[in-house]
Amino acid sequence: MYGQTIPVTGDVHYDSGFPSVNFGNSSYLSVSGNSKAYIQFDLSSLPPGTNAAGITKVNLVLWVGRISSAGNLQISEAGAAWNESALTFGNTPATGALVGLVATPLVPDFITIDVTGSIVKWLGNPALNFGFVIEGSPGSTTVYLDSK
Protein backbone atom coordinates (compact mmCIF):
# COMPACT_ATOMS: atom_id res chain seq x y z
CA MET A 1 0.00 0.00 0.00
CA TYR A 2 1.33 3.42 -0.88
CA GLY A 3 0.23 6.94 -1.63
CA GLN A 4 0.48 8.86 -4.85
CA THR A 5 -0.24 12.40 -5.91
CA ILE A 6 -2.42 12.65 -9.01
CA PRO A 7 -1.63 15.66 -11.22
CA VAL A 8 -4.22 18.36 -11.82
CA THR A 9 -5.06 18.74 -15.51
CA GLY A 10 -7.28 21.76 -15.08
CA ASP A 11 -8.59 24.15 -12.45
CA VAL A 12 -10.67 27.27 -12.88
CA HIS A 13 -13.40 29.28 -11.20
CA TYR A 14 -16.15 31.47 -12.55
CA ASP A 15 -17.55 34.70 -11.15
CA SER A 16 -21.17 35.53 -11.99
CA GLY A 17 -20.29 39.24 -11.73
CA PHE A 18 -18.06 38.75 -14.78
CA PRO A 19 -20.14 36.26 -16.83
CA SER A 20 -17.89 36.13 -19.90
CA VAL A 21 -14.48 36.23 -18.16
CA ASN A 22 -12.34 33.10 -17.93
CA PHE A 23 -10.26 32.78 -14.75
CA GLY A 24 -8.24 29.74 -15.88
CA ASN A 25 -4.91 31.53 -15.38
CA SER A 26 -5.73 32.84 -11.91
CA SER A 27 -3.36 31.98 -9.05
CA TYR A 28 -6.34 31.14 -6.83
CA LEU A 29 -9.76 29.49 -7.03
CA SER A 30 -12.59 31.63 -5.69
CA VAL A 31 -15.52 29.95 -3.96
CA SER A 32 -18.38 32.22 -2.88
CA GLY A 33 -22.02 33.02 -3.50
CA ASN A 34 -20.92 34.35 -6.90
CA SER A 35 -18.34 31.75 -7.81
CA LYS A 36 -17.67 28.02 -8.02
CA ALA A 37 -14.37 26.27 -8.64
CA TYR A 38 -13.73 23.32 -10.95
CA ILE A 39 -10.79 20.92 -10.70
CA GLN A 40 -9.88 17.83 -12.73
CA PHE A 41 -7.21 15.15 -12.32
CA ASP A 42 -5.31 12.95 -14.77
CA LEU A 43 -5.95 9.39 -13.63
CA SER A 44 -3.81 7.99 -16.46
CA SER A 45 -0.77 8.95 -14.35
CA LEU A 46 -1.55 6.12 -11.92
CA PRO A 47 0.75 3.10 -12.18
CA PRO A 48 -0.06 0.66 -15.01
CA GLY A 49 -2.57 -1.94 -13.90
CA THR A 50 -4.21 0.29 -11.29
CA ASN A 51 -7.89 -0.55 -11.17
CA ALA A 52 -10.88 0.16 -8.97
CA ALA A 53 -10.34 -2.99 -6.91
CA GLY A 54 -6.89 -1.75 -5.87
CA ILE A 55 -8.11 1.58 -4.51
CA THR A 56 -8.79 1.77 -0.78
CA LYS A 57 -8.85 5.51 -0.08
CA VAL A 58 -8.46 8.71 -2.09
CA ASN A 59 -8.50 12.13 -0.46
CA LEU A 60 -8.88 15.45 -2.21
CA VAL A 61 -6.56 17.85 -0.38
CA LEU A 62 -7.08 21.58 -0.82
CA TRP A 63 -5.22 24.57 0.63
CA VAL A 64 -7.62 27.22 1.87
CA GLY A 65 -5.36 30.25 1.72
CA ARG A 66 -7.81 32.99 2.58
CA ILE A 67 -11.15 32.91 4.37
CA SER A 68 -13.48 35.88 4.11
CA SER A 69 -16.53 34.06 5.50
CA ALA A 70 -16.21 30.55 6.95
CA GLY A 71 -18.76 27.83 6.30
CA ASN A 72 -18.56 24.59 4.36
CA LEU A 73 -17.27 23.52 0.98
CA GLN A 74 -19.56 21.24 -0.97
CA ILE A 75 -17.72 18.94 -3.34
CA SER A 76 -19.67 17.42 -6.23
CA GLU A 77 -18.74 15.69 -9.44
CA ALA A 78 -18.94 17.87 -12.53
CA GLY A 79 -21.77 16.59 -14.71
CA ALA A 80 -20.20 17.29 -18.11
CA ALA A 81 -16.93 18.22 -19.78
CA TRP A 82 -15.38 21.66 -19.30
CA ASN A 83 -12.18 23.34 -20.37
CA GLU A 84 -9.88 25.35 -18.10
CA SER A 85 -9.19 27.97 -20.77
CA ALA A 86 -12.82 28.39 -21.84
CA LEU A 87 -15.07 27.97 -18.78
CA THR A 88 -17.04 31.07 -17.78
CA PHE A 89 -20.23 31.68 -15.82
CA GLY A 90 -22.08 31.55 -19.13
CA ASN A 91 -21.00 28.02 -20.07
CA THR A 92 -20.66 26.04 -16.84
CA PRO A 93 -21.52 22.35 -16.93
CA ALA A 94 -24.22 20.89 -14.75
CA THR A 95 -23.26 19.75 -11.26
CA GLY A 96 -23.31 15.97 -10.88
CA ALA A 97 -23.42 13.68 -7.86
CA LEU A 98 -22.70 15.10 -4.42
CA VAL A 99 -19.42 13.80 -3.00
CA GLY A 100 -19.52 15.45 0.42
CA LEU A 101 -19.26 18.51 2.60
CA VAL A 102 -16.27 19.72 4.60
CA ALA A 103 -16.02 22.62 7.04
CA THR A 104 -13.73 25.46 6.07
CA PRO A 105 -10.98 26.29 8.53
CA LEU A 106 -11.06 29.58 10.43
CA VAL A 107 -7.44 30.29 9.49
CA PRO A 108 -5.49 29.24 6.37
CA ASP A 109 -5.06 25.47 6.43
CA PHE A 110 -5.43 22.27 4.44
CA ILE A 111 -8.77 20.49 4.21
CA THR A 112 -9.34 16.94 3.03
CA ILE A 113 -12.39 15.15 1.73
CA ASP A 114 -12.79 11.50 0.81
CA VAL A 115 -13.36 11.19 -2.96
CA THR A 116 -12.75 7.44 -3.20
CA GLY A 117 -16.17 6.68 -4.72
CA SER A 118 -15.67 9.15 -7.56
CA ILE A 119 -12.15 7.95 -8.40
CA VAL A 120 -13.24 4.30 -8.35
CA LYS A 121 -16.15 5.16 -10.69
CA TRP A 122 -13.83 7.07 -13.05
CA LEU A 123 -11.27 4.26 -13.14
CA GLY A 124 -14.09 1.92 -14.20
CA ASN A 125 -15.34 4.39 -16.81
CA PRO A 126 -12.76 7.11 -17.61
CA ALA A 127 -15.25 8.90 -19.90
CA LEU A 128 -17.15 10.01 -16.76
CA ASN A 129 -14.15 11.86 -15.28
CA PHE A 130 -15.25 15.49 -15.56
CA GLY A 131 -13.59 16.40 -12.27
CA PHE A 132 -15.09 18.15 -9.27
CA VAL A 133 -17.15 21.27 -8.60
CA ILE A 134 -16.45 23.13 -5.35
CA GLU A 135 -19.03 25.53 -3.97
CA GLY A 136 -19.76 27.26 -0.70
CA SER A 137 -22.50 26.05 1.62
CA PRO A 138 -24.17 28.23 2.67
CA GLY A 139 -23.76 30.61 -0.24
CA SER A 140 -22.27 33.24 2.06
CA THR A 141 -19.16 31.07 2.48
CA THR A 142 -16.25 32.87 0.79
CA VAL A 143 -12.81 31.30 0.54
CA TYR A 144 -9.86 31.29 -1.82
CA LEU A 145 -8.10 28.04 -2.64
CA ASP A 146 -4.63 27.71 -4.10
CA SER A 147 -4.62 26.97 -7.81
CA LYS A 148 -2.19 24.74 -9.67
From residue 142, give the alpha-carbon distance in Å to each of 6, 9, 51, 135. 26, 24, 36, 9
CATH number of 8-146: 2.60.120
Alpha-carbon gap, residue 138 to 69, rounded angstroms: 10
Cβ contact 77:96 at 8 Å: yes
- The pTM for the full model equals 0.94
Give the type of residue at 12.
V
Domain boundaries, the chain: 8-146
Assign 3-class secondary structure to 64-118.
EEEEEECCEEEEEEECCCCCCCCCCHHHCCCEEEEEEEEECCCCCEEEEEECHHH
Alpha-carbon gap, residue 15 to 105, rounded angstroms: 22
- Per residue in 56-75, pLDDT (tens digit) is 899 999 999 999 999 999 99
- Per residue in 69-99, pLDDT (tens digit) is 999 999 999 999 999 999 999 999 999 999 9
- Per residue in 6-38, pLDDT (tens digit) is 899 999 999 999 999 999 999 999 999 999 999
